[in-house]
Amino acid sequence: MENIIIRNIEEKDIPSVVDIQIEGWKSAYRGIVDDNILNSMNRNERIEKRRNDYKENGFIVAELNNQVVGFCRYIDSNKFTQDISNIDCELLALYVKPNLKYNGIGTKLFQFVINEFKSKNKTKMILWCLKDNEPSKKFYTKMGGEIIKERTMGIGEKQYLEIGFEYNI
């Protein structure tokens, strides 16, 4: 897909981003995360949350034919992974519309983030992925990540294992 444009998010993109996230969770996490969580994702609440945080640094979208088809969030610190001292940046979220996966959109988003970190002289990036999310683990491995750590995270009332992929930038 050569016509993919990667750009900073704009307020008008928020509903599309929220729809992609909800669709993505329901597609990727069905059978992993409790169905009650997946079935109760509230679009309006998520839109309001995004309205509050979309201006934070590191929030980009992928656009194809004037439609948002993916998004990514990242930070140039180890704010969420302070227990690993050599990490200096983190990819927080990467989502592509489920029906458009395997078309290079995720790769373009990922590469954009890597280039951003390179321009800021970052050297070690981490991203976290649910341990049972096999397609995402395969993608992150293909992108050059090495699993370095495992931890638990809470979603709703349950705990889930996630794994950390480290990247040399």
Structure tokens at 53: 């945080």
Contacts for 10-16: CB closer than 8 Å, 24+ residues apart: 11/51, 11/54, 13/54, 13/61, 13/68, 13/71, 14/47, 14/50, 14/51, 14/54, 15/47, 16/61, 16/67, 16/68
Greater pLDDT, 78 or 158 = 158
Q: What per-residue confidence (pLDDT) applies to 166?
A: 97
Per-residue pLDDT reduced to its tens digit, 76-131:
988 888 888 899 999 999 999 999 999 999 999 999 999 999 999 999 999 999 99
Q: Where are the domains of the chain?
A: 5-168
* 20, pLDDT greater than 80: yes
Q: What per-residue confidence (pLDDT) applies to 1?
A: 60
Q: What per-residue confidence (pLDDT) applies to 85?
A: 80
Q: What is the mean pLDDT of residues 141-159?
A: 95
- Residues comprising the chain, all counted: 169
Structure tokens at 39: 């079935």
CATH topology of domain 5-168: Aminopeptidase (3.40.630)
pLDDT above 90 coverage of the chain, percent: 86
Task: Enter the pTM of the model.
Answer: 0.93
